[in-house]
Structure 1
């Protein structure tokens, strides 16, 4: 996102209604309608997640209501009232996206941002994941910020089906949805458990999601996210490195070693980092010969100008120095 998205204000326009009406007399808004055939890569199939709960939105409470709907769907029992103290900012009359994500993580769920296109929304819906979206129901210069939950799409009438405001089943035409969502920077997330990968998940983004959980202090959930990513993309060394480092930080040397060795067996990337870190662990365990071999292999695996080169050489020298001292 190139710039912070303004705070949603739950349906309260920035300009008084009379002033807005007067301003609109001066001209007509123009836009290019979207062709339904161009919105999707393939002809869309209809879908509706009828079991997604609905919480009627109280004044200015679209954020807590939308997040509660997606959290409950993910298996976490809550209500908008439970979330309001953590989400709603009275002086701003709204909820920040950063807080929506932070409170999702605080409940051991991942707020995974999907790509901002209609194909991604449909893919998630067909995978059983409702999509929480951010919209501007007003105009660019007179925004009305709003959160809603997309639960379905009707290709016959070209309409999205939303949990929105006071409407449990709001039908919104494809073109109107596109315009309001575009003005919200096409922001959309799915709220999932850390062992439930979204349909459109990408390895780098899922790894980042796990790290966000870990940095939030949710280490058990982060471990699960890393493990599910590793199982889905075993060739991506980042998950193996993350698991090794997390276990090492928890003083679980056995689990850290297992994670590193599995990574060296399975991964197609990050081999140098895995060897370097495992070398230091072997040094701590008094296995100087293996530590030296791993460190030398790590140095040999990267170019001299690699961003890891200096760190790898330092590890090698540390092992040589400490193992030599142990022999004296």
Structure 2
């Protein structure tokens, strides 16, 4: 089992690296730290003509990767990789295929608020094209005191792909041996597949309760007896307010499904996940929409 961290020698890169280490320890996975550099087109004037710019940049990158590797706790198996590609995101996706990795971990862009997510160009490209789960570390994750994942929270609606994210969350929680919290978003989603045009606020709430119970029953059937699991109906006037009302602690991990607009086995960040991302204080994993429902951890 291998996890890729898309790394840069920046605070954002360190945020992703810390999240990657937490995930790797919890899953018993190997951590692959990957740096992707753009190929050179023009040689800077300060670089001696006999020295290739790619060689000089690669040498510096190897130093950065060595420093990153040294920062990973010794109980985690780690390897480093350097490649060249025009697109950092596509370079990471190529590494996923080459290494048969299960997921990609990246940090927030540098202009976000501390403890919040900020989607940069690399994250955006990954969230529209990745064929494996993408784990997003909020800004400041590098300061986390958690050494592993404490709890998995799975946000669920009724749209296509909800069964995939549920089975992925169930399997991930079981592998990590951490509690699973299911959060039903049905009551907040005006386009959920259970809604009736005659619904009142109370009947919509009742549908949400039934959905939550059905989801809990499915999860319980897939997990060992006495496994710690709970279900919550998200409550609030908006998705953002509902997410803020939930209890979040250091080491928590949120998991959401890809948009219904996504192609099979691809990612596409939907409107609900995007709203959650704006206020979520913990890492988020976005799971691709698969054509099948086989439960696999982070895959």
Larger Rg: 1
Q: One fold, TM greater than 0.5? A: no
Greater strand percent: which structure?
2
Query: Which of structures 1 and 2 has the larger relative contact order (alpha carbons within 8 angstroms, sep 6+)?
Result: 2
Q: Give the TM-score of the pair, scaled to structure 2.
A: 0.30
Question: Going by fraction, where is helix more abundant, 1 or 2?
Answer: 1
